[in-house]
Chains A and B, each alone.
Chain A
Amino acid sequence: MSLASPRRAVASTARNLALALIGVCFVVPLAWLVLASIDTNPSQRTELPEGFTLDHYAAVLTPEGTLLPLWNSMLLSTGSAVITVVVAVLAAYPLSRYRSRFNTPYLYAILFGTCLPITAIMVPVYSLFVRLGYLDNLAAVTFFMAATSLPMAIWMMKNFMDSVPVSLEEAAWVDGASAMGTLRRIVVPLMRPGIAVVFIFVFIQAWGNFFVPFILLLSPAKQPAAVSIYSFFGQYGTVAYGELAAFSLLYSLPVIALYVLVSRGIGGSFALQGAVKG
């Protein structure tokens, strides 16, 4: 940089300044969340706290306030991520390893499924759940959420599996291993990073999903944090901003941690590769 011409240096400074300015615009609403959660007198304004307090965290960290909803979120997200990953690995194996007349139409259907806007079908889903008697059933909602993320998961999983060389499996076949045996002992261990990416991808989606449990789960004891935090927001005439912000941050921590894990540990562009580049 020291060798750059003055004109270049000006351009470079302008670029950095423009970037920093956009960054400031993006950070302000986030800063509000953090500041309001520790302010003794929180409001909708973003300002330095009048006094520092952890009371808001103490107020929301009660069994029925946050712990039960967070536990429900954990059940819902882990459940649907496990179901999705297992079903997607099974489905991706024949799609990736065998050629069949069935593959192309199935992959088209999967791609079509990734494009289906889930919020668009929630009214009929509600009606279907009423018909089937699944309303307010945590297991049924878990399976539903697994199904909605399945198309993307199968697509990603097939791409990850395609990049696992087939020669090792051929050796195992020669030794008499079954297809399922090779899948379990050879393919799955080799594509562990890909499986982790899909698992975390589904988990984050389910953890942040508000609309689906909002429509399908009625009793407060079963609702995940996304829904209970919303009732927190609207229940009382005036919103308790400090507690809302504190709950929001507690609820966001797991997905932030998982995202950091994926982008640092497994490689950020790697995660997108499976999803976008196809």
Chain B
Amino acid sequence: MVAVSSPTIEGGRPTRDDPNFRAGRQPPRAGRRAFFRLLPIVPSILLLALFMAGPVIWAVVISFTDTALTGRSAREPQWVGLDNYVELVTDRDFPVSLVLTVVFVLGSAVIGQNLVGLGLALLMAKANRTVRGIVGTTVVAAWVLPEIVAAFAAYAYFADDGTLNQLLGAIGIDGANWLYDFPMLAVILANVWRGTAFSMLVYEAALNDVPPEITEAAIVDGASGAKRLWWVTIPMIRPSIATNLMLITLQTLAVFTLIWVMTKGGPGMASSTLPVFAYQEAFKFQQIGYGSAIAVVMIVVGAVFSIAYIRMLRPERRS
């Protein structure tokens, strides 16, 4: 990011030489000027307050009530204190959903998309141009498609009569009913298929920024391919790896459509990650209050990740 020198002719923050600095306040005209300067930010604050901060606060508020979808509790919800959270801890399904979410994020993002994306970027860097063009387009196509379309394609692929079993049948293997017997495996693979392009693009850009002299120096020193990758390339692109991991983790945490179309979170609870679980509790079992308590848990998890992410970006150092 380029540090733009702010138009200092107009002053900005009072400096040490400024007599007002000691007084600890700006002169009234400077205050008014600051107000007018910040005026263009107001629409964004209003929108974000109403539709981003609002739901987060609202989630916390109604997680302490017995709000329901219909009936008396929908019209006049009662305060129930921590009941929803107590239910969350004692609910047999919640820990299951939590574990499934961790498995989904680790399997499809941290391991799947991340490693396949890095592998593709490394292979692409040295591959034949035609192959690179075709494979790159294919991988990106799965990512550019609307999520629901990708979900249909993945559904048809993993269905009992689907393409995967057709391919396995062609080599003499009687495939399983993937969506029923191994729903988590199916949705994890589907999410790797759909999301890898993002990691691939990030790593392609990062590898392009690695100065060739450094790799060449390592070759001259006789480092093998694997050693070069581990000791030279990976340390050089570490910031991109960290950023990418954070972003794909947050994206994967929020995946709903793909799982909903492929398995509806089932069979039973077998593929209900937290977004699906919250949806079902809120709209199938009509417990908006309980669903909001799950939402609060997800917001907290997201917040933990975003704090880690923000610490890496540190806006104040850059602007």
Contact = CB atoms under 8 A, between A and B. Distances in A.
Interface of A: 12, 15-16, 18-20, 22-23, 25-30, 32-33, 36, 43-47, 83, 86-88, 90-91, 93-104, 106-109, 111-128, 143-144, 146-148, 150-151, 154, 159, 162-163, 166, 169-170, 173, 179-180, 183, 204, 207-211, 226, 229-230, 233, 241, 244-245, 248-249, 251-252, 255-256, 259, 263, 268-269, 272-273, 276-278
A243 to B, nearest CB: 11
Contacts of A115: 250, 302-303, 305-306, 309-310
- Overall SS of chain B's interface: helix
B173 interface: no
B294 interface: yes
Nearest to B151: A210
A226 B148 contact: yes
Given A33-B149, A93-B40, A107-B315, 4 more contacts: A117-B298, A124-B55, A125-B55, A251-B146
Contact of A119 (B138, B254, B319): B254
B56 interface: yes
Contact of B146 (A96, A147, A208): A208
A113 B51 CA distance: 11
B86 interface: no
Given A19-B132, A23-B135, A44-B159, A126 B147 contact: no
A209 B254 CA distance: 12
- Overall SS of chain A's interface: helix
Contact of A29 (B47, B193, B282): B193
Contact of B135 (A22, A111, A121): A22
A179 B141 contact: no
A73 to B, nearest CB: 9
A272 B279 contact: no
Contacts of A104: 315-316, 319
Given A120-B295, A120-B298, A170-B7, A278 B131 contact: no
B238 interface: no
A122 B67 CA distance: 15
Most-contacted residue by chain B among A44, A106, A146, A276 (CB, 10 A): A44
Interface string B40-58: 1101100110111011101
Contacts of B305: 115
B90 interface: no
Given A91-B40, A94-B41, A208-B146, A121 B319 contact: no
8 contacts: A22-B119, A26-B139, A29-B142, A46-B157, A104-B316, A127-B67, A170-B9, A252-B149
Interface string B92-127: 000000000000000000000000100110011011
Nearest to B258: A210
A207 B146 contact: yes
A45 B47 contact: no
B48 A113 contact: yes
Given A19-B131, A87-B47, A278-B1, A128 B40 contact: no
Contacts of B123: 15, 18-19, 22
Contacts of A154: 44
Interface string B251-263: 0011111000100
A218 B13 CA distance: 50
Given A111-B309, A166-B4, A99 B13 contact: yes
Contacts of B318: 278
B278 interface: yes
